[in-house]
Amino acid sequence: MRFILGSSSPRRKELLRELIDDFEVAKPDVDEAQLAGEDALDHVLRLSKAKASAVAHQQPAAPAGAPFVVLAADTVIIRPGSSGARTSLGKPDTPAEARETLVLLRGTPHTVATGFTLLSSDGRCVSRLVETKVCMRQYTDGEMDRYIATGDPFDKAGSYAIQDEVFRPAETVDGSYSNVVGLPLEVLRDELRAFGVPVKAA
């Protein structure tokens, strides 16, 4: 059975290798824009389903095509808005946007939510949403600007990589650390086994 990661994220590829040795990578072509009035958690889960479906439709139909399972995911940074509503922080397009986000997050807690979907060629589908609470440290303006200058924030929701060993943005992490990086390996391991996908021993 083929296993396909529906993501071009190098971080997700690295994480998945902790569970599975042999998998393919396919980039889903979906509109990632949040719908008007859509809750941030609903958005991230909907995108994981849309990405999995898009990659599944790229595959040859049975009987010509081999059986497969697709994994797709989306991660979002969420913080409480002034009115109490949840607001999501996307990927920055410019250094100014990255700085604005990092200033907003500095010294405060937020939630990292990853939605992932497993979709098989025989129609089985499961979607899960995993949340991790992160509190950022009081990094200085200089630390923040040097980190932005590396270019690292520009493909990351929330403008940071928690695993960066120089910037070290987080003070505390409550929940799955790998979820903040891009895949909640603890939950994903159980769901893969339920799908009949062999995984490495913990």
- 102, 148 contact by CB (below 8 A): yes
Q: What is the dihedral of CA 119, 120, 125, 127, to 10 degrees?
A: -30
Give the separation between CA 124 and CA 118, rounded to whole angstroms. Answer: 8
Active site residue 74: yes
Pull the structure tokens for residue 79.
């913080």
Q: Tell me the DSSP string of 96-151.
A: HHHHHHHHHHTTSEEEEEEEEEEEETTS-EEEEEEEEEEEE----HHHHHHHHHTT
Query: Token pair of 77, please?
Result: 């940074």
Find the catalytic residue in 22, 42, 74, 141. 74
* Active-site residue set: 74
